[in-house]
Amino acid sequence: MLAPCIHSGFLLARLGRPEVQSCISGLQQYSFAYEEAADQANEMARIYSAGGEELGHMAGLGAHGRMLSLSPSTSGSVMTNGSAHEITGGGYL
């Protein structure tokens, strides 16, 4: 469980996501058994505190690589798994 917490935590920190706090807390708990976990938790917190946004260009991506839209009326097409899907209507993606 240590490695997934580290990998996902650093991604969340780089994206500037508040969910990173769960990973930081988990690593701090792991640090009682694995000393290096404390260093990784501190680095993760530093990246998050610095504003993250290292990968801010990905922040608008939703599930399956689709762009999220905040507009109530959307039309166009979305590529998923190599095939295009038409989007019409008045719903959120």
The per-residue pLDDT for range 23-65, each reduced to its tens digit, is: 999 999 999 999 999 999 999 999 999 986 555 555 555 544 5
**Closest among 38, 40, 44, 42 to 13, alpha carbons compared:** 44
The pLDDT value given to residue 51: 82
The pLDDT value given to residue 74: 47
Strand partners, 25: none
Q: Which of 15-24, 39-48, 78-87 has the lowest mean pLDDT?
A: 78-87
The pLDDT value given to residue 83: 55
CA-CA distance, 15 to 54, in Å (whole number)? 6
Predicted TM-score of the model (pTM): 0.57
The pLDDT value given to residue 79: 47
